[in-house]
Amino acid sequence: MEELTELQYNGHWRMAVWALRVGYVGLAAAIAGLILMSLGSTPWVLAVGVIIWLSAATVTLTGFLWFRHELPEPRPGYWSMRFMLIHDTVHAQSSARRS
């Protein structure tokens, strides 16, 4: 997929990137909660992690779909956009800035 230069300027894309980053934190909290539950602790950490993850997933999906809807035809495929989203969450620069 050719690089989309409007990624770094689009609010919906940035919202999806930041929501996915928050989702990573929620996923880490949920995994920590599972470990704590296996050690006999309270399930609160797991519950908070799952709530954060589900909320972040909702916001990520919303931003992703809004951004994709705004793209002109022909739109890139879902898989290539997913990989670009994941790339942007783990790198400080947007994939659009890579030249």
pLDDT in tens, 3-44: 555 666 778 888 999 999 999 999 999 999 999 999 988 889
pLDDT of residue 99: 47
Using the predicted structure, report yes or no on whether residue 79 has a pLDDT greater than 90.
no
pLDDT of residue 95: 53
Peptide bond into 43 cis (omega under 30): no
Q: DSSP secondary-structure letter at 84?
A: H
pLDDT of residue 2: 46
Name the residue among 61, 74, 91 with its Cα closest to residue 1. 74
Please compute, for residue 41, the number of CA atoms within 13 A of its CA located in the half-sphere on the CB side: 12
